[in-house]
Amino acid sequence: MEYRKIGNSDLELSAITFGAWAAGGWMWGSTDRNDAIKAIQASYDEGVTSIDTAPIYGQGDSESIVGDALKGISRDKVQLVTKYGMRWDLAKGDFAMKSKDNSGKDIDVYKYAGKESIIKECEDSLRRLKTDYIDLYQIHWPESTTPIGETMETVAQLIKEGKVRYAGVCNYSVDQMKEGDRYVNLISNQVPYSMVKREIEKELVPYALENNKSILAYSPLERGLLTGKMKPGHQFAEGDHRAGLYYFKDENLRRTNAFLSTIAPLAADKNVSLSQLVLRWTIEQPAITIALAGARNAQQSVQNAKAIQVQLTKAEIDLITNELNKLELVK
| Average pLDDT, rounded, for the chain | 94
CA 86, CA 89: separation in Å to the nearest integer?
Answer: 9
Measured CA angle at 58 (ends 221, 28), to 5 deg? 40
pLDDT score, position 25:
60
Kindly report, residue by residue over 211-247, the tens digit of the pLDDT: 999 999 999 999 889 998 889 888 888 778 788 888 9
Of 3, 44, 57, 193, catalytic:
57
What interhelical angle do 274-283 and 298-305 show, nearest 10? 50
pLDDT beyond 90 at 178: yes
Q: Which CATH architecture has domain 3-225+274-310?
A: Alpha-Beta Barrel (3.20)
Kindly indicate the confidence band of residue 24, based on its pLDDT and cuts at 50, 70 and 90. low
Pairing of strands 288-294, 214-218: parallel
pLDDT beyond 60 at 28: no
183 is catalytic: no
Please check whether residue 290 is in contact with residue 283, taking contact to mean a CB–CB distance below 8 angstroms: yes
Please check whether residue 163 is in contact with residue 133, taking contact to mean a CB–CB distance below 8 angstroms: yes
268 CA to centre of own chain: 27
Q: How far apart are the first and last CA of the chain?
A: 37
CA 216, CA 302: separation in Å to the nearest integer?
Answer: 20
DSSP assignment of 7-45 equals TTSS-EEESEEEE-TGGG-TTBT---HHHHHHHHHHHHH
What does the domain layout of the chain look like in residue ranges?
Answer: 3-225+274-310
Handedness of CA 53, 57, 60, 65 (dihedral sign): negative
The counts of H helices and E strands in the chain are 10, 13
pLDDT beyond 90 at 23: no
Alpha helices (H) in the chain, listed in sequence order? 33-45, 61-69, 115-129, 148-160, 174-180, 204-211, 250-269, 274-283, 298-305, 314-324
Q: What is the mean pLDDT of residues 245-273?
A: 94
